Amino acid sequence: MPQRDSKGRFVSSGGSVDNTGSISIKVEIIDNSPEVLEAVKTACLRALHTAGEDVRAKAWQNAPYRTGNLANSITHETHGMQEVIGTNVEYALAHELGSSRGIRPKHYLKNAIANNNNIETIFEESLKNV
């Protein structure tokens, strides 16, 4: 039930009606953009890390396998708002892009991203509750 303020006006949910029937509505705008921005950044970093792990796993599956050294060396790291997926194995580039020594390009890294349908979903899920 509506209450009356000190001047006898009805007050309810931030608005009021006075004795003449005039309606007064109070609107307060609160700037939460710093908190929202921080929440969005946190969600993006979480999604970036998750997507990086997903791409790393797919690159691991795609990598040529003889000894397992190349596949097992694939890592992912977050640097700011960028995820870096790669390897420090000396012959990795030759297997990714091919070489004049007869190594055909495998595109194990490129295909791990190009054929990955999970990245968009990972970001959507992470940002859903922000």
Nearest alpha-carbon partner for 81 in 52, 57, 60 = 52
> Which pLDDT score is estimated for 32?
87
Give the C-alpha separation, 6 to 15, whole Å.
Answer: 14
Q: What angle do CA 88, 95, 74 make, to 5 degrees?
A: 35
How is residue 32 annotated by DSSP?
Answer: -
Task: Give residue 24's pLDDT.
Answer: 77
Cα–Cα distance, 81 to 5 (Å, whole number): 52
40 to each of 50, 55, 84, how far by Cα in Å? 15, 22, 20
What is the H or E stretch that residue 125 is in?
Answer: helix 118-127
Give the separation between CA 74 and CA 63, rounded to whole angstroms. 9
Closest C-alpha among 87, 76, 86 to residue 48: 76
* Count of all residues that appear for the chain in the document: 130
Per-residue confidence of the chain (130 residues) as pLDDT tens digits?
566 666 666 555 555 667 777 877 777 788 889 999 999 999 999 999 999 999 999 999 999 989 999 999 999 999 999 999 999 999 999 999 999 999 999 999 999 999 888 999 999 999 998 8
What is the Cα–Cα distance from 109 to 127, expressed in whole angstroms? 26
pTM of the model: 0.74
DSSP symbol at 105: P
